[in-house]
Amino acid sequence: MAKLNFGGVDEEVVTREEYPLEKSREFLKKQTIAVIGYGVQGPGQAMNMRDNGFNVIVGQRPGKTYDKAVADGWVPGKTLFGIEDALKKGTIICFLLSDAAQIALWPTVKQYLKKGKTLYFSHGFGITYSKKTGIKPPKNVDVVLVAPKGSGTSLRRLFVEGKGLNSSFAVFQDASGHARETAIAMGIGVGSGYLFETDFYREVTSDLTGERGTLMGAIQGIFAAQYEVLRENGHSPSEAFNETVEELTQSLMPLVAENGMDWMYANCSTTAQRGALDWWKPFHDATKPVFKKLYQSVKSQKEATQSIERNSQPDYREKLEVELAELRESEMWQAGKTVRSLRPERN
């Protein structure tokens, strides 16, 4: 592992230099990697590993998602199978269904976890909250995790561009004595930029906090608040949306990703610079109590309990559509739809 300095703190990470793709392929050359589920993470991880030269098959029920897998080049009867057939054939079982679907399918998956196999996750939810999910692997299999820090779509897009999405990795159970190397090899295989070590509990705790916080929940709340204030003070939908969302996502955040926030502050107008420096601390002070409350809600398992209970209800999809429609039909995101349609096409 490479020791790197992160803001004054030393941390060991795995990069492609000390663990190249060729080493991953060699280590996993006798394995059949069965990706169970072709929804959020499944496509990106499966296609990246296939393109990297690993022996990958997909297990999916017939339907729209199965048809998507066919369109992505998976061949029925050769590399695309029903779930149980894939579970039989796979020596590394990538359990990439949603948390609710994992709970429902677990009794089936468990039947095929024979000695010597590896159970692979990209989220610590099922294992960490096993008393609620019922997911308790047999003792004679390895249980590992590789969690890309982004969507499967982003993982695939960056891979195609020759880049990588950073991932965490962890070992929950090491029956074989080489589970850690399996996790690292899989992490390199799915196209990770670099790998940092964690455990299943820390992964799910940070992930649930991030999703509900800056990645999705908080950003939507901040967008809505600023947009509403601008509209209430007479600014047009176009002006309010562009100043709230479009400039951030299309102009500033790509530059922050490339160079950091300090660079952004140093390279904006002096007026913007002064205002940002004056106002970031009040926003920090206002939101930190909310983040503390959020983290405690995750730590107490309240968030996990709510997710399991709500996502397992038979009318979950209908209720979800109502909540998503509230966002989709809001003036802000309707304005966003129009703004996106007006972006010039690149020739």
| pLDDT for 184 | 97
How many structural domains compose the chain? 2
Cβ atoms of 187 and 180 closer than 8 Å: no
Q: d(Cα 302, Cα 43) in Å, to the nearest integer?
A: 30
- Check residue 268 and give its pLDDT: 87
Residue 250 lies in a domain: yes
The helix/strand/coil state of 103 is helix
Q: Could you give the CA distance from residue 347 to residue 330 in angstroms, rounded to a whole number?
A: 32
- Judge if 114 and 246 occupy the same domain: no
What value does the mean pLDDT of the chain take? 94
Q: Are residues 324 and 299 in the same domain?
A: yes
Query: What pLDDT, in 10s, does the model give residues 178-216?
Result: 999 999 999 999 999 899 999 999 999 999 999 999 999
- Domain shared by 158 and 233, yes or no: no
Strand residues in the chain grouped as ranges (E):
2-6, 9-15, 33-36, 56-59, 80-81, 92-95, 118-121, 142-148, 165-173, 192-197
Amino acid at 16: R
The burial of 174, by beta-carbon neighbours within 10 Å (0-12 exposed, 13-18 middle, 19 or more buried), is given as middle
Q: Tell me if 130 is assigned to some domain.
A: yes
pLDDT in tens, 212-231: 999 999 999 999 999 999 99
Taking the C-alpha atoms of residue 54 and residue 48, their distance in angstroms, rounded to an integer, is 9
Residue 347 has pLDDT above 60, yes or no: no
Quick one: 181 and 143 in the same domain? yes
User: Is 208 within a domain?
Assistant: no
Domain assignment present for residue 207? The answer is no
- Average pLDDT over every residue of 301-324: 92
| pLDDT above 60: residue 176 | yes
pTM of the model: 0.90
State the pLDDT at residue 290: 97
Which residues are annotated as catalytic? 123
Q: Is pLDDT at 302 greater than 90 in this prediction?
A: yes
pLDDT in tens, 10-68: 889 999 998 999 999 999 999 999 999 998 899 999 999 999 999 999 999 999 999 99
Phi-psi label, residue 279: left if phi above 0, alpha if psi -120 to 50, beta otherwise: alpha
Residue 346 has pLDDT above 70, yes or no: no
**Does 135 score more than 60 pLDDT?**
yes
Taking Cα atoms as reference points, which of 195, 180, 193 lies closest to residue 12? Answer: 195
Q: Which domain holds residue 241?
A: 213-341
Q: Using the 3D structure, point to which of 169, 198, 227 is the last residue of a domain.
A: 198
The answer to whether residue 80 is domain-embedded is: yes
In terms of domains, do 26 and 146 share one?
yes
Residues 130 and 157 in one domain: yes
* Claim to verify: residue 220 and residue 193 sit in the same structural domain: no
Q: What is the CATH number of the domain that holds 149?
A: 3.40.50.720
What sign does the dihedral 324-329-330-334 (CA atoms) show?
A: positive
Residue 299 tokens, joined: 């730590």
**Strand, coil or helix: 154:** helix
What is the reported pLDDT for 207? 95
Torsion 58-63-64-70 (CA) sign: positive
Q: What is the arithmetic mean of pLDDT over 97-117?
A: 95
85: pLDDT strictly greater than 60: yes
- Are 105 and 245 within one domain? no
Does residue 1 register a pLDDT over 80?
A: no
Residues 180 and 240 in one domain: no
Decide if 220 is inside a domain. Answer: yes
Q: What is the DSSP letter of 230?
A: H
Say if 112 falls within a structural domain. Answer: yes
Residue 347 lies in a domain: no
In this prediction, residue 40 carries a pLDDT of 86
pLDDT at 101 over 80: yes
Query: Alpha helices, DSSP H only, in 200-247?
Result: 200-212, 217-232, 237-241, 247
Residue 136 phi, psi (nearest 5): -130, 100
Question: Can you tell me the mean pLDDT for 257-286?
Answer: 93
Contact 204, 121 (CB under 8 A): no
Q: Could you report the per-residue pLDDT of 230-260, keeping only the tens digit for each? A: 999 999 999 999 999 999 999 999 899 899 9
260-282: burial string, b at 16+ Cβ within 10 Å, e else: eeeebeeeeeeeeeeeeeeeeee
Same domain, 247 and 317: yes
Where among 198, 221, 242 does a domain terminate?
A: 198
- Same domain as 35, residue 181: yes
Domain finish residue from 150, 169, 198: 198
Residues 81 and 106 in one domain: yes
